[in-house]
Amino acid sequence: MATPRGVGLPAPERRRSDTPDTIRSMRIARTLSVYVMREALLYCALTFVVITLVLLTQNVMRRLDTLVTVGMTGADFVAALLCILPIALSYAIPLAFLIGMLLAIRRLASDGELLAFRASGFGPTAFLSSFLVLGLGATALSMWLLGSVEHQARRDLVELVERMAARGAVVEAGKFRHTGSQTIFVEDRDREGTLRGVMIYDQSSPDVALRIFAARGQMAFDEATRAMQIELENGEIHVEPQSDAPERYERMRFESFSYRIDLRHLLSRQLGPVRPKQMSVPELERVLERAEQGDPLLDLDEKDPREYALEIHRRRALPFAPLLFAGLGVPIALASEHRRRHLGLFLGLLSAFAYYGLGSATESLALSDRLDPAIALWLPNIVAAAVALALILRGRDRIPS
């Protein structure tokens, strides 16, 4: 009598026959996780570009007129953008991640794909973990920017502006400018560096003092020699009489005359960091050590040691914002998917503003010596993590399962 198929097989063979279903389920979960992360990355990237452009434009336009007035060149403009970019990124990454994540979940819900996830057995842990992985990556990037890049970018930006001011503000319409042994006055100057009504008093030579007058002039900065070149037109050079020959007075007319102003003594000064946001963590820690020893910090812009302690903890606590936003945003978006269309996005942004608002409030308390700086900067993270955990536990039935 024939034995029915499958009867009498050893137990290990039956367990081995179940493995294809397990492997298939794992592949489906992995595929759906990658799909969710890809959708979220797409929206995060688009949002990131928009927010970064807005922040860059806002920062550049706020200072553009002043920078152009002091003689900003095209190379200076590119250098300024490169300095401002890391500063803008530290604020753009968390917000772009939150908004992109909310938009991605909204798109998945509106197309009915969340129901498809539920039907395929894509569990709550896998769905939430997809966004937590992305949040962890954004957190790592924020840590690198805040810890190693942002303070140097701020320092470079200050130095760039100082250099532009040193070489451009040497000539300002209606004001006498002194550069060592030279005094310069112009009646008018436009953005292209064209001068009108130029007067220069030059005492660089110990034997001869010159007074130079010109109807017009064109100024340009020579980066190689770090000198200001002024091409003067239609003017006169007056040589002051010397003490041994007071009756001798010389005057020479010219149609064109090249005059150079050496700016190396202005541009070579070392611009050390004097503000907390321009310092590295070791530099901040050294300032705190000085303050503990009774140093009044007179060489720094900020004299309050709490400012430096807050900056240290800001760089350590703030990078966790994307990870916290993932824990807050996913439950909020899923809880709102069957309600008003924009409710999830509104509540998600409201949670982000509440997080940053709490940080500003606790920072003010720390500056008034009513809260320890470490507690002030880490308290928003602790509160956000507790709220995120509560939302996740309460909304588990709303996450596809």
pLDDT in tens, 94-110: 988 888 888 888 887 77
Residues 325 and 206 in one domain: no
Would 233 be classed as within a structural domain? yes
- Give whichever of 23-32, 255-264, 324-333 has the largest mean pLDDT: 324-333
Confidence of residue 271 (pLDDT cuts 50, 70, 90): very low
Least confident of 105-119, 178-192, 224-238, 292-306: 105-119
Would 135 be classed as within a structural domain? yes
Residues 70 and 149 in one domain: yes
Least confident of 20-24, 160-164, 381-385: 20-24
Confidence of residue 396 (pLDDT cuts 50, 70, 90): low
Choice between 362 and 225, residue whose per-residue pLDDT is larger? 362
For residue 268, give the amino acid letter: S
Choice between 261 and 5, residue whose per-residue pLDDT is larger? 261
Confidence of residue 14 (pLDDT cuts 50, 70, 90): very low
The residue segments making up the domain with residue 355 are: 21-167+295-394
Residues 210 and 342 in one domain: no
Would 343 be classed as within a structural domain? yes
Residues 110 and 190 in one domain: no
What is the average per-residue pLDDT within 170-196? 79
Residue 392 has pLDDT above 60, yes or no: yes
Residues 96 and 184 in one domain: no
Residues 218 and 361 in one domain: no
pLDDT > 90 in the chain, percent = 13
Average pLDDT, the chain: 78
- Give whichever of 38-47, 141-150, 292-301 has the largest mean pLDDT: 141-150
pLDDT at 337: 64
Query: 202 and 180 in contact (C-beta within 8 Å)?
Result: no
pLDDT > 70 in the chain, percent = 75
Query: 56 and 81 in contact (C-beta within 8 Å)?
Result: yes
Choice between 178 and 304, residue whose per-residue pLDDT is larger? 304
173 beta partners: 186
Q: Which of 210, 237, 262 is the last residue of a domain?
A: 262
pTM of the complete model: 0.67
Least confident of 152-161, 170-179, 183-192: 170-179
The per-residue pLDDT for range 235-250, each reduced to its tens digit, is 998 888 776 666 677 8
Residues 149 and 29 in one domain: yes
Residues 151 and 103 in one domain: yes
Q: How many domains does the chain have?
A: 2
Residue 73 has pLDDT above 80, yes or no: no
How far is residue 27's CA from residue 355's CA, in Å, rounded to a whole number? 37
Least confident of 89-103, 149-163, 205-219, 347-361: 149-163
Would 284 be classed as within a structural domain? no
What is the average per-residue pLDDT within 72-96? 82
Would 126 be classed as within a structural domain? yes
Residues 68 and 212 in one domain: no
Residue 307 has pLDDT above 70, yes or no: yes
pLDDT at 3: 45
Would 16 be classed as within a structural domain? no
Choice between 216 and 240, residue whose per-residue pLDDT is larger? 216
How far is residue 151's CA from residue 161's CA, in Å, rounded to a whole number? 16
Would 185 be classed as within a structural domain? yes
